[in-house]
Structure 1
Protein backbone atom coordinates (compact mmCIF):
# COMPACT_ATOMS: atom_id res chain seq x y z
CA UNK A 1 0.00 0.00 0.00
CA UNK A 2 1.40 3.35 -1.03
CA UNK A 3 1.76 6.29 1.33
CA UNK A 4 -0.90 8.26 -0.55
CA UNK A 5 -3.40 5.45 -0.04
CA UNK A 6 -2.55 5.29 3.67
CA UNK A 7 -3.02 9.03 4.08
CA UNK A 8 -6.33 8.85 2.22
CA UNK A 9 -7.61 6.19 4.62
CA UNK A 10 -10.88 7.40 6.17
CA UNK A 11 -11.58 6.98 9.86
CA UNK A 12 -14.60 4.69 10.28
CA UNK A 13 -17.96 6.40 10.84
CA UNK A 14 -16.58 9.77 9.76
CA UNK A 15 -15.24 11.72 6.81
CA UNK A 16 -11.93 12.40 8.53
CA UNK A 17 -8.89 11.10 6.66
CA UNK A 18 -5.67 9.94 8.23
CA UNK A 19 -3.93 12.80 6.43
CA UNK A 20 -6.12 15.38 8.17
CA UNK A 21 -5.51 13.67 11.53
CA UNK A 22 -1.74 13.80 11.08
CA UNK A 23 -1.98 17.41 9.94
CA UNK A 24 -4.19 18.28 12.91
CA UNK A 25 -1.66 16.73 15.31
CA UNK A 26 1.15 18.75 13.73
CA UNK A 27 -0.95 21.91 13.93
CA UNK A 28 -1.72 21.18 17.59
CA UNK A 29 1.95 20.67 18.46
CA UNK A 30 3.15 23.71 16.54
CA UNK A 31 0.23 25.77 17.83
CA UNK A 32 1.00 24.75 21.43
CA UNK A 33 4.59 25.91 20.98
CA UNK A 34 3.41 29.17 19.40
CA UNK A 35 0.98 29.78 22.28
CA UNK A 36 3.78 29.26 24.81
CA UNK A 37 6.08 31.63 22.92
CA UNK A 38 3.41 34.31 22.50
CA UNK A 39 2.41 34.03 26.16
CA UNK A 40 6.05 34.38 27.21
CA UNK A 41 6.53 37.43 24.97
CA UNK A 42 3.29 38.96 26.24
CA UNK A 43 4.39 38.35 29.84
CA UNK A 44 7.74 40.06 29.27
CA UNK A 45 6.04 43.01 27.60
CA UNK A 46 3.66 43.48 30.52
CA UNK A 47 6.44 43.02 33.09
CA UNK A 48 8.35 45.89 31.52
CA UNK A 49 5.32 48.12 32.05
CA UNK A 50 6.21 48.94 35.66
CA UNK A 51 3.11 51.07 36.07
CA UNK A 52 0.83 48.03 35.84
CA UNK A 53 -0.04 46.30 39.14
CA UNK A 54 0.94 42.67 39.56
CA UNK A 55 -2.66 41.47 39.71
CA UNK A 56 -3.50 43.24 36.45
CA UNK A 57 -0.52 41.61 34.74
CA UNK A 58 -1.46 38.16 36.03
CA UNK A 59 -5.10 38.58 34.98
CA UNK A 60 -4.19 39.75 31.46
CA UNK A 61 -1.71 36.91 31.00
CA UNK A 62 -4.28 34.30 32.00
CA UNK A 63 -6.95 35.82 29.80
CA UNK A 64 -4.57 36.05 26.82
CA UNK A 65 -3.45 32.45 27.32
CA UNK A 66 -7.03 31.11 27.46
CA UNK A 67 -7.93 33.10 24.34
CA UNK A 68 -4.98 31.64 22.41
CA UNK A 69 -5.84 28.08 23.43
CA UNK A 70 -9.44 28.57 22.30
CA UNK A 71 -8.22 29.85 18.93
CA UNK A 72 -5.83 26.89 18.67
CA UNK A 73 -8.66 24.45 19.40
CA UNK A 74 -10.76 26.00 16.62
CA UNK A 75 -7.86 25.82 14.16
CA UNK A 76 -7.32 22.12 14.98
CA UNK A 77 -11.03 21.43 14.46
CA UNK A 78 -10.91 23.26 11.14
CA UNK A 79 -7.91 21.16 10.09
CA UNK A 80 -9.89 18.02 10.82
CA UNK A 81 -12.55 19.25 8.44
CA UNK A 82 -15.13 20.54 10.89
CA UNK A 83 -17.11 23.64 10.06
CA UNK A 84 -15.70 26.03 12.66
CA UNK A 85 -18.41 28.60 12.07
CA UNK A 86 -21.06 26.07 13.00
CA UNK A 87 -19.03 25.08 16.07
CA UNK A 88 -18.81 28.69 17.16
CA UNK A 89 -22.54 29.14 16.65
CA UNK A 90 -23.19 25.92 18.53
CA UNK A 91 -21.02 27.00 21.45
CA UNK A 92 -22.78 30.34 21.50
CA UNK A 93 -26.14 28.62 21.62
CA UNK A 94 -24.98 26.32 24.44
CA UNK A 95 -23.58 29.25 26.41
CA UNK A 96 -26.82 31.15 25.91
CA UNK A 97 -28.82 28.13 27.05
CA UNK A 98 -26.63 27.69 30.14
CA UNK A 99 -26.96 31.36 31.03
CA UNK A 100 -30.69 31.11 30.50
CA UNK A 101 -30.86 28.38 33.15
CA UNK A 102 -29.41 30.65 35.81
CA UNK A 103 -25.65 30.23 35.52
CA UNK A 104 -25.02 33.93 35.03
CA UNK A 105 -22.59 33.71 37.97
CA UNK A 106 -19.85 32.74 35.51
CA UNK A 107 -20.17 36.04 33.67
CA UNK A 108 -20.53 37.89 36.99
CA UNK A 109 -17.31 36.34 38.31
CA UNK A 110 -15.51 37.21 35.08
CA UNK A 111 -16.65 40.83 35.25
CA UNK A 112 -15.76 41.01 38.94
CA UNK A 113 -12.28 39.71 38.14
CA UNK A 114 -11.79 42.54 35.66
CA UNK A 115 -12.85 45.14 38.25
CA UNK A 116 -10.63 43.58 40.94
CA UNK A 117 -7.63 43.67 38.62
CA UNK A 118 -8.36 47.26 37.60
CA UNK A 119 -9.18 48.89 40.94
CA UNK A 120 -7.03 46.66 43.19
CA UNK A 121 -8.87 46.64 46.52
CA UNK A 122 -6.58 43.69 47.21
CA UNK A 123 -3.14 42.79 45.88
CA UNK A 124 -0.87 39.78 45.92
CA UNK A 125 0.88 39.31 49.26
CA UNK A 126 -1.62 41.38 51.27
CA UNK A 127 -3.43 39.97 54.29
CA UNK A 128 -7.16 40.54 53.91
CA UNK A 129 -10.50 39.46 55.30
CA UNK A 130 -13.21 38.76 52.72
CA UNK A 131 -16.67 37.52 53.55
CA UNK A 132 -15.46 36.42 56.99
CA UNK A 133 -12.41 34.57 55.62
CA UNK A 134 -8.90 35.86 56.41
CA UNK A 135 -5.73 35.04 54.52
CA UNK A 136 -2.88 36.21 52.35
CA UNK A 137 -3.77 36.90 48.71
CA UNK A 138 -1.86 34.54 46.43
CA UNK A 139 -3.61 35.36 43.15
CA UNK A 140 -6.69 36.90 41.57
CA UNK A 141 -7.70 34.79 38.60
CA UNK A 142 -10.27 35.20 35.87
CA UNK A 143 -13.00 33.54 37.93
CA UNK A 144 -11.79 33.31 41.53
CA UNK A 145 -9.47 34.80 44.14
CA UNK A 146 -7.12 32.54 46.09
CA UNK A 147 -6.17 33.09 49.73
CA UNK A 148 -3.70 31.25 51.95
CA UNK A 149 -4.79 31.18 55.60
CA UNK A 150 -2.24 31.38 58.45
CA UNK A 151 -2.78 27.65 59.16
CA UNK A 152 -1.71 26.90 55.54
CA UNK A 153 -5.27 26.25 54.39
CA UNK A 154 -5.89 27.23 50.76
CA UNK A 155 -9.16 29.06 50.10
CA UNK A 156 -10.75 29.82 46.71
CA UNK A 157 -13.42 32.55 46.68
CA UNK A 158 -15.51 33.44 43.60
CA UNK A 159 -14.64 36.92 42.38
CA UNK A 160 -18.26 38.02 42.63
CA UNK A 161 -18.17 37.46 46.41
CA UNK A 162 -14.93 39.40 46.74
CA UNK A 163 -16.15 42.36 44.70
CA UNK A 164 -19.59 42.35 46.35
CA UNK A 165 -18.38 42.10 49.97
CA UNK A 166 -16.58 44.49 52.32
CA UNK A 167 -12.84 43.83 52.18
CA UNK A 168 -10.71 44.41 55.28
CA UNK A 169 -7.13 44.97 54.13
CA UNK A 170 -4.72 44.66 57.06
CA UNK A 171 -1.47 45.32 55.20
CA UNK A 172 -2.27 48.05 52.67
CA UNK A 173 -1.23 50.87 55.02
CA UNK A 174 2.35 51.28 56.25
CA UNK A 175 1.38 51.64 59.92
CA UNK A 176 -1.35 50.22 62.16
CA UNK A 177 -2.62 50.93 65.63
CA UNK A 178 -2.18 48.20 68.22
CA UNK A 179 -4.76 48.02 71.00
CA UNK A 180 -4.38 45.89 74.11
CA UNK A 181 -7.12 45.91 76.75
CA UNK A 182 -6.55 45.09 80.39
CA UNK A 183 -8.91 45.15 83.39
CA UNK A 184 -7.71 46.60 86.70
CA UNK A 185 -9.44 46.54 90.06
CA UNK A 186 -11.51 49.55 91.14
CA UNK A 187 -9.28 50.18 94.15
CA UNK A 188 -6.15 50.41 91.97
CA UNK A 189 -4.33 53.70 91.41
CA UNK A 190 -5.48 54.49 87.86
CA UNK A 191 -2.95 57.26 87.32
CA UNK A 192 -0.16 54.88 88.30
CA UNK A 193 -1.56 52.15 86.06
CA UNK A 194 -1.74 54.55 83.11
CA UNK A 195 1.83 55.72 83.75
CA UNK A 196 3.19 52.15 83.97
CA UNK A 197 1.36 51.11 80.78
CA UNK A 198 2.58 54.21 78.93
CA UNK A 199 6.19 53.58 80.00
CA UNK A 200 5.83 49.96 78.87
CA UNK A 201 4.74 50.99 75.37
CA UNK A 202 7.32 53.75 75.07
CA UNK A 203 10.12 51.35 75.94
CA UNK A 204 9.14 48.83 73.26
CA UNK A 205 11.41 49.04 70.20
CA UNK A 206 8.56 48.34 67.81
CA UNK A 207 6.29 51.13 69.06
CA UNK A 208 6.48 54.34 67.02
CA UNK A 209 7.05 57.63 68.81
CA UNK A 210 4.60 59.44 66.52
CA UNK A 211 1.71 59.24 67.05
CA UNK A 212 2.51 58.88 70.75
CA UNK A 213 1.22 55.80 72.59
CA UNK A 214 -1.72 56.52 74.90
CA UNK A 215 -3.71 54.75 77.59
CA UNK A 216 -7.41 55.51 77.96
CA UNK A 217 -10.24 54.30 80.16
CA UNK A 218 -12.74 52.66 77.81
CA UNK A 219 -15.27 51.18 80.21
CA UNK A 220 -16.34 51.05 83.84
CA UNK A 221 -17.28 47.39 83.93
CA UNK A 222 -19.13 45.49 86.66
CA UNK A 223 -16.00 44.39 88.52
CA UNK A 224 -13.13 46.29 86.89
CA UNK A 225 -11.94 49.38 85.06
CA UNK A 226 -11.00 48.62 81.44
CA UNK A 227 -7.85 50.28 80.17
CA UNK A 228 -6.89 50.32 76.48
CA UNK A 229 -3.21 50.54 75.58
CA UNK A 230 -3.00 52.10 72.12
CA UNK A 231 0.29 52.24 70.27
CA UNK A 232 1.24 52.71 66.63
CA UNK A 233 3.62 50.32 64.88
CA UNK A 234 4.79 49.46 61.40
CA UNK A 235 2.42 47.02 59.75
CA UNK A 236 5.17 44.40 59.58
CA UNK A 237 5.68 44.73 63.36
CA UNK A 238 1.98 44.78 64.29
CA UNK A 239 1.55 41.24 65.60
CA UNK A 240 4.89 41.20 67.40
CA UNK A 241 4.08 44.42 69.23
CA UNK A 242 0.59 43.26 70.16
CA UNK A 243 1.80 39.92 71.48
CA UNK A 244 4.61 41.54 73.49
CA UNK A 245 2.31 44.12 75.07
CA UNK A 246 -0.26 41.48 76.01
CA UNK A 247 2.47 39.48 77.72
CA UNK A 248 4.50 42.27 79.31
CA UNK A 249 1.64 44.32 80.74
CA UNK A 250 0.89 41.49 83.18
CA UNK A 251 4.39 41.53 84.62
CA UNK A 252 4.56 45.33 84.62
CA UNK A 253 1.32 45.69 86.59
CA UNK A 254 2.27 42.98 89.05
CA UNK A 255 5.65 44.60 89.63
CA UNK A 256 3.95 47.95 90.29
CA UNK A 257 1.43 46.42 92.67
CA UNK A 258 -1.52 47.03 90.35
CA UNK A 259 -4.19 44.35 90.60
CA UNK A 260 -5.44 42.89 87.33
CA UNK A 261 -9.11 42.24 88.01
CA UNK A 262 -11.16 39.20 87.17
CA UNK A 263 -14.95 38.82 87.03
CA UNK A 264 -16.46 38.42 90.47
CA UNK A 265 -19.86 38.55 92.10
CA UNK A 266 -20.58 39.52 95.71
CA UNK A 267 -23.32 37.41 97.26
CA UNK A 268 -24.95 38.58 100.50
CA UNK A 269 -26.81 35.97 102.50
CA UNK A 270 -29.45 37.02 104.95
CA UNK A 271 -31.71 35.16 107.35
CA UNK A 272 -35.16 34.57 105.99
CA UNK A 273 -37.88 35.37 108.50
Structure 2
Protein backbone atom coordinates (compact mmCIF):
# COMPACT_ATOMS: atom_id res chain seq x y z
CA UNK A 1 0.00 0.00 0.00
CA UNK A 2 2.86 2.35 0.89
CA UNK A 3 4.47 1.58 -2.45
CA UNK A 4 1.29 2.56 -4.31
CA UNK A 5 1.00 5.85 -2.41
CA UNK A 6 4.63 6.59 -3.12
CA UNK A 7 4.24 6.20 -6.89
CA UNK A 8 4.56 9.42 -8.83
CA UNK A 9 2.50 10.69 -11.75
CA UNK A 10 4.50 10.39 -14.97
CA UNK A 11 6.64 13.44 -15.81
CA UNK A 12 5.97 14.98 -12.34
CA UNK A 13 7.15 14.59 -8.78
CA UNK A 14 3.58 14.46 -7.46
CA UNK A 15 2.74 11.22 -5.67
CA UNK A 16 -0.66 9.61 -5.13
CA UNK A 17 -0.28 10.46 -1.44
CA UNK A 18 0.12 14.13 -2.38
CA UNK A 19 -3.08 14.02 -4.40
CA UNK A 20 -5.06 12.36 -1.61
CA UNK A 21 -3.73 14.87 0.91
CA UNK A 22 -4.54 17.72 -1.48
CA UNK A 23 -8.15 16.49 -1.78
CA UNK A 24 -8.42 16.33 2.01
CA UNK A 25 -7.05 19.88 2.28
CA UNK A 26 -9.49 21.03 -0.41
CA UNK A 27 -12.54 19.57 1.32
CA UNK A 28 -11.42 20.78 4.74
CA UNK A 29 -10.61 24.22 3.33
CA UNK A 30 -14.03 24.57 1.69
CA UNK A 31 -15.69 23.50 4.93
CA UNK A 32 -13.67 26.01 6.96
CA UNK A 33 -14.36 28.74 4.40
CA UNK A 34 -18.08 28.04 4.68
CA UNK A 35 -18.01 28.11 8.50
CA UNK A 36 -15.97 31.33 8.60
CA UNK A 37 -18.29 32.97 6.05
CA UNK A 38 -21.34 32.04 8.16
CA UNK A 39 -19.70 33.34 11.33
CA UNK A 40 -18.75 36.56 9.54
CA UNK A 41 -22.32 36.96 8.24
CA UNK A 42 -23.82 36.39 11.70
CA UNK A 43 -21.42 38.91 13.20
CA UNK A 44 -22.28 41.55 10.61
CA UNK A 45 -26.01 41.00 11.13
CA UNK A 46 -25.57 42.16 14.71
CA UNK A 47 -24.39 45.53 13.42
CA UNK A 48 -26.50 48.23 11.80
CA UNK A 49 -25.07 47.59 8.35
CA UNK A 50 -27.69 47.26 5.57
CA UNK A 51 -28.33 43.74 4.35
CA UNK A 52 -26.97 44.62 0.91
CA UNK A 53 -23.60 45.66 2.41
CA UNK A 54 -23.51 42.52 4.58
CA UNK A 55 -24.06 40.32 1.52
CA UNK A 56 -21.34 42.13 -0.43
CA UNK A 57 -18.76 41.82 2.37
CA UNK A 58 -19.55 38.14 2.96
CA UNK A 59 -19.11 37.34 -0.72
CA UNK A 60 -15.86 39.28 -0.82
CA UNK A 61 -14.49 37.37 2.19
CA UNK A 62 -15.62 34.05 0.71
CA UNK A 63 -13.73 34.80 -2.52
CA UNK A 64 -10.54 35.56 -0.54
CA UNK A 65 -10.94 32.34 1.46
CA UNK A 66 -11.34 30.31 -1.72
CA UNK A 67 -8.10 31.79 -3.08
CA UNK A 68 -6.34 30.83 0.19
CA UNK A 69 -7.72 27.28 -0.07
CA UNK A 70 -6.52 27.04 -3.67
CA UNK A 71 -3.01 28.13 -2.69
CA UNK A 72 -3.01 25.61 0.19
CA UNK A 73 -4.01 22.80 -2.19
CA UNK A 74 -1.28 23.77 -4.65
CA UNK A 75 1.23 23.83 -1.80
CA UNK A 76 0.34 20.27 -0.72
CA UNK A 77 1.12 19.09 -4.24
CA UNK A 78 4.70 20.24 -3.74
CA UNK A 79 4.44 23.29 -5.95
CA UNK A 80 6.23 26.43 -4.79
CA UNK A 81 3.49 28.92 -3.89
CA UNK A 82 5.71 31.88 -4.64
CA UNK A 83 6.00 30.74 -8.24
CA UNK A 84 2.21 30.36 -8.43
CA UNK A 85 1.75 33.91 -7.11
CA UNK A 86 4.28 35.20 -9.63
CA UNK A 87 2.45 33.30 -12.36
CA UNK A 88 -0.93 34.75 -11.33
CA UNK A 89 0.57 38.22 -11.27
CA UNK A 90 1.89 37.69 -14.77
CA UNK A 91 -1.52 36.53 -15.97
CA UNK A 92 -3.21 39.54 -14.36
CA UNK A 93 -0.63 41.79 -15.97
CA UNK A 94 -1.34 40.27 -19.39
CA UNK A 95 -5.08 40.63 -18.88
CA UNK A 96 -4.73 44.29 -17.96
CA UNK A 97 -2.22 44.80 -20.74
CA UNK A 98 -4.77 43.64 -23.30
CA UNK A 99 -7.29 46.15 -21.95
CA UNK A 100 -9.56 43.64 -20.24
CA UNK A 101 -10.11 45.57 -17.00
CA UNK A 102 -13.76 44.52 -16.73
CA UNK A 103 -13.17 42.53 -13.56
CA UNK A 104 -11.60 45.45 -11.75
CA UNK A 105 -14.28 47.81 -13.06
CA UNK A 106 -17.02 45.48 -11.85
CA UNK A 107 -15.36 45.12 -8.44
CA UNK A 108 -14.99 48.88 -8.03
CA UNK A 109 -18.59 49.43 -9.12
CA UNK A 110 -19.73 46.80 -6.62
CA UNK A 111 -17.98 48.70 -3.82
CA UNK A 112 -19.74 51.94 -4.82
CA UNK A 113 -23.13 50.21 -5.05
CA UNK A 114 -22.71 48.59 -1.64
CA UNK A 115 -21.51 51.88 -0.11
CA UNK A 116 -24.00 54.38 -1.57
CA UNK A 117 -26.90 51.91 -1.96
CA UNK A 118 -28.90 53.35 -4.88
CA UNK A 119 -30.65 49.98 -4.63
CA UNK A 120 -31.05 47.59 -1.74
CA UNK A 121 -31.90 43.95 -1.25
CA UNK A 122 -35.61 43.28 -1.80
CA UNK A 123 -36.25 46.55 -3.68
CA UNK A 124 -37.81 46.50 -7.16
CA UNK A 125 -35.67 48.36 -9.68
CA UNK A 126 -35.22 48.94 -13.39
CA UNK A 127 -31.60 49.01 -14.53
CA UNK A 128 -30.28 49.12 -18.07
CA UNK A 129 -33.74 48.23 -19.40
CA UNK A 130 -34.14 45.22 -17.08
CA UNK A 131 -36.54 45.09 -14.13
CA UNK A 132 -36.68 42.89 -11.07
CA UNK A 133 -36.33 42.58 -7.31
CA UNK A 134 -32.76 42.94 -6.05
CA UNK A 135 -31.56 39.53 -4.91
CA UNK A 136 -27.96 40.44 -4.08
CA UNK A 137 -24.96 42.57 -5.04
CA UNK A 138 -21.83 40.46 -5.41
CA UNK A 139 -18.21 41.31 -6.07
CA UNK A 140 -18.67 41.18 -9.83
CA UNK A 141 -22.40 41.31 -10.55
CA UNK A 142 -25.81 42.41 -9.30
CA UNK A 143 -28.57 39.79 -9.24
CA UNK A 144 -32.22 40.55 -10.00
CA UNK A 145 -35.27 38.31 -9.76
CA UNK A 146 -38.17 39.12 -12.10
CA UNK A 147 -41.85 38.74 -11.08
CA UNK A 148 -42.09 35.61 -13.26
CA UNK A 149 -39.04 34.11 -11.47
CA UNK A 150 -36.34 34.75 -14.05
CA UNK A 151 -32.86 35.25 -12.59
CA UNK A 152 -30.91 38.16 -14.11
CA UNK A 153 -27.19 38.72 -13.56
CA UNK A 154 -25.94 42.20 -14.43
CA UNK A 155 -22.25 43.19 -14.37
CA UNK A 156 -21.79 45.80 -11.66
CA UNK A 157 -20.28 48.32 -14.06
CA UNK A 158 -23.53 48.32 -16.08
CA UNK A 159 -25.54 48.91 -12.92
CA UNK A 160 -23.38 51.74 -11.60
CA UNK A 161 -23.04 53.29 -15.06
CA UNK A 162 -26.78 53.31 -15.85
CA UNK A 163 -29.79 55.23 -14.53
CA UNK A 164 -31.46 53.22 -11.74
CA UNK A 165 -35.23 53.51 -11.35
CA UNK A 166 -36.15 52.37 -7.84
CA UNK A 167 -39.88 51.66 -7.63
CA UNK A 168 -39.99 50.74 -3.94
CA UNK A 169 -37.54 53.09 -2.19
CA UNK A 170 -40.14 55.75 -1.36
CA UNK A 171 -42.90 54.96 1.18
CA UNK A 172 -45.72 56.18 -1.09
CA UNK A 173 -46.39 56.17 -4.84
CA UNK A 174 -48.99 57.65 -7.14
CA UNK A 175 -51.26 55.27 -9.02
CA UNK A 176 -52.27 56.49 -12.48
CA UNK A 177 -55.14 54.90 -14.41
CA UNK A 178 -55.91 56.19 -17.92
CA UNK A 179 -59.38 55.95 -19.41
CA UNK A 180 -61.00 57.51 -22.47
CA UNK A 181 -64.58 58.80 -22.78
CA UNK A 182 -66.60 59.72 -25.85
CA UNK A 183 -66.54 63.31 -27.11
CA UNK A 184 -70.29 63.56 -26.47
CA UNK A 185 -69.75 62.85 -22.76
CA UNK A 186 -70.33 65.51 -20.14
CA UNK A 187 -66.74 65.69 -18.88
CA UNK A 188 -67.66 67.10 -15.41
CA UNK A 189 -69.95 64.11 -14.89
CA UNK A 190 -67.21 61.66 -15.94
CA UNK A 191 -64.76 63.36 -13.59
CA UNK A 192 -67.26 63.21 -10.74
CA UNK A 193 -67.86 59.48 -11.28
CA UNK A 194 -64.10 58.82 -11.45
CA UNK A 195 -63.46 60.79 -8.25
CA UNK A 196 -66.17 58.79 -6.51
CA UNK A 197 -64.44 55.56 -7.55
CA UNK A 198 -61.13 56.75 -6.12
CA UNK A 199 -62.54 57.99 -2.82
CA UNK A 200 -64.43 54.75 -2.20
CA UNK A 201 -61.21 52.72 -2.20
CA UNK A 202 -60.05 52.11 1.36
CA UNK A 203 -56.33 52.00 0.51
CA UNK A 204 -56.21 55.40 -1.23
CA UNK A 205 -54.52 58.06 0.91
CA UNK A 206 -56.30 61.34 1.65
CA UNK A 207 -53.02 63.27 1.57
CA UNK A 208 -51.86 64.02 -1.06
CA UNK A 209 -55.39 64.44 -2.34
CA UNK A 210 -56.53 62.29 -5.28
CA UNK A 211 -57.37 63.93 -8.58
CA UNK A 212 -58.87 63.29 -12.01
CA UNK A 213 -57.38 65.31 -14.87
CA UNK A 214 -57.93 65.58 -18.61
CA UNK A 215 -54.71 64.52 -20.30
CA UNK A 216 -55.47 64.50 -24.03
CA UNK A 217 -58.01 65.22 -26.75
CA UNK A 218 -57.27 62.06 -28.69
CA UNK A 219 -58.53 60.88 -32.09
CA UNK A 220 -61.46 58.90 -30.70
CA UNK A 221 -61.78 60.00 -27.08
CA UNK A 222 -61.21 62.56 -24.40
CA UNK A 223 -58.62 60.91 -22.18
CA UNK A 224 -58.84 61.19 -18.41
CA UNK A 225 -56.34 60.07 -15.81
CA UNK A 226 -57.23 58.94 -12.31
CA UNK A 227 -54.46 59.86 -9.85
CA UNK A 228 -54.39 58.38 -6.36
CA UNK A 229 -51.61 58.22 -3.78
CA UNK A 230 -51.10 54.93 -1.94
CA UNK A 231 -48.57 53.16 0.22
CA UNK A 232 -45.96 51.61 -2.04
CA UNK A 233 -46.85 48.07 -0.95
CA UNK A 234 -50.45 48.64 -2.13
CA UNK A 235 -49.55 50.09 -5.54
CA UNK A 236 -50.39 47.18 -7.85
CA UNK A 237 -53.46 46.08 -5.91
CA UNK A 238 -54.97 49.58 -6.03
CA UNK A 239 -54.10 50.05 -9.69
CA UNK A 240 -55.89 46.83 -10.58
CA UNK A 241 -58.90 47.68 -8.41
CA UNK A 242 -59.31 51.18 -9.86
CA UNK A 243 -59.01 49.92 -13.43
CA UNK A 244 -61.83 47.41 -12.86
CA UNK A 245 -63.92 49.83 -10.80
CA UNK A 246 -63.81 52.72 -13.29
CA UNK A 247 -65.00 50.45 -16.09
CA UNK A 248 -67.91 49.21 -13.97
CA UNK A 249 -68.79 52.75 -12.78
CA UNK A 250 -68.79 54.24 -16.28
CA UNK A 251 -70.95 51.38 -17.52
CA UNK A 252 -73.36 51.91 -14.62
CA UNK A 253 -73.56 55.70 -15.15
CA UNK A 254 -73.82 55.43 -18.97
CA UNK A 255 -70.46 57.10 -19.55
CA UNK A 256 -69.25 55.74 -22.88
CA UNK A 257 -65.75 54.39 -23.29
CA UNK A 258 -65.46 54.54 -27.10
CA UNK A 259 -63.80 52.14 -29.48
CA UNK A 260 -61.18 53.63 -31.82
CA UNK A 261 -63.01 55.32 -34.70
CA UNK A 262 -62.08 56.55 -38.15
CA UNK A 263 -64.40 58.65 -40.32
CA UNK A 264 -64.03 58.05 -44.04
CA UNK A 265 -65.55 60.64 -46.42
CA UNK A 266 -66.10 59.64 -50.06
CA UNK A 267 -66.61 62.22 -52.77
CA UNK A 268 -67.84 61.54 -56.26
CA UNK A 269 -65.56 63.15 -58.84
Q: Residue 111 of structure 2 is aligned with which of 114, 126, 133?
A: 114
Residues 150 and 26 from structure 1, CA distance in 2 versus in 1: closer, same or farther, beyond 3 angstroms? Answer: closer
Q: Residue 190 of structure 1 is aligned with which of 180, 187, 206?
A: 187
Distance 1:131 1:41 in 2: 35
- Other-structure match for 1:169: 166
- Other-structure match for 2:37: 39
Tell me if structure 2 keeps the 8 A contact 1:183–1:262: no
Q: Residue 255 of structure 2 is aligned with which of 253, 258, 262?
A: 258
What is the CA deviation profile of residues 27-58 of structure 1, one whole-angstrom value per residue up to 9, with x for unaligned ones? 43443333233222211111111x11111111
Out of 124-133 and 195-204, give the one that drifted further: 124-133
Matched, 1:134 2:131: yes
- Other-structure match for 2:155: 158
Return the TM-score normalized by structure 2.
0.92
Out of 124-133 and 254-263, give the one that drifted further: 254-263
Q: Deviation at 1:247? A: 1.4
Distance 2:268 2:19 in 1: 102
SS in 2 for 1:71: helix
Matched, 1:242 2:239: yes
Consecutive unaligned residues of structure 1, counting only runs of 5 or more, are none
Tell me if structure 2 keeps the 8 A contact 1:113–1:143: yes
Tell me if structure 2 keeps the 8 A contact 1:188–1:258: yes
Alignment of 1:74-89 (within 5 A): 74-89=71-86
Distance 1:230 1:88 in 2: 62
Distance 2:243 2:99 in 1: 51
Distance 1:197 1:23 in 2: 76
- Other-structure match for 1:105: 102
Q: Residue 16 of structure 1 is aligned with which of 14, 17, 39?
A: 14
Distance 2:195 2:18 in 1: 81
Q: Deviation at 1:202? A: 0.2
Distance 1:56 1:206 in 2: 33
Consecutive unaligned residues of structure 2, counting only runs of 5 or more, are none
SS in 1 for 2:84: helix
Distance 2:150 2:6 in 1: 55
Residues 207 and 85 from structure 1, CA distance in 2 versus in 1: closer, same or farther, beyond 3 angstroms? Answer: same
Distance 1:145 1:96 in 2: 26
Distance 1:32 1:13 in 2: 29
Distance 1:39 1:98 in 2: 29
Distance 1:25 1:224 in 2: 74
Tell me if structure 2 keeps the 8 A contact 1:146–1:155: yes
Distance 2:246 2:234 in 1: 18
Distance 1:139 1:111 in 2: 16
Matched, 1:218 2:215: yes
Q: Deviation at 1:11? A: 4.1
Q: Aligned residues, how many? A: 269
Distance 1:41 1:69 in 2: 16
Return the TM-score normalized by structure 1.
0.90
